[in-house]
Copies of this chain bind each other. A is one copy, B any other.
Amino acid sequence: MPSSRPLRADARRNREALLSAARQAFLGGDADAHVEDIARSAGVAVGTLYRHFETREALIEEVYRKEVDDLCAAPGDLLNQHAPEEALRRFLLLLVDHAAVGKGMSVALENIMATDSPVFDDARTRMGDALSRLLDAGSAAGTVRGDVTGPTLLRALGGICAMRVSEGWLDEARQITTLLLDGLRHGAPRAS
Contacts and interface: CB of A to CB of B under 8 A. Distances in A.
B158 A163 contact: yes
A41 to B, nearest CB: 26
A188 B155 CA distance: 22
From A89, A175, A192, name the one whose CB has the most chain B CB atoms within 10 angstroms.
A175
B192 A162 contact: no
A48 interface: no
A179 B113 CA distance: 19
A122 to B, nearest CB: 15
A89 B176 contact: no
Main secondary structure of the interface of A (DSSP, over half): helix
Copies of this chain: 2
Chain A interface residue number, banded? 35 or more
A180 interface: yes
A82 to B, nearest CB: 14
A73 to B, nearest CB: 24
From A110, A182, A184, A190, name the one whose CB has the most chain B CB atoms within 10 angstroms.
A182
Interface of A: 89, 110, 113-114, 116, 148, 151-152, 155-156, 158-166, 169, 172-173, 175-176, 178-185, 187-192
Per CB-CB distance, the 10 closest pairs between chain A and chain B, nearest first, are A159-B159, A183-B183, A179-B183, A182-B183, A159-B160, A162-B162, A156-B176, A178-B191, A113-B163, A182-B188
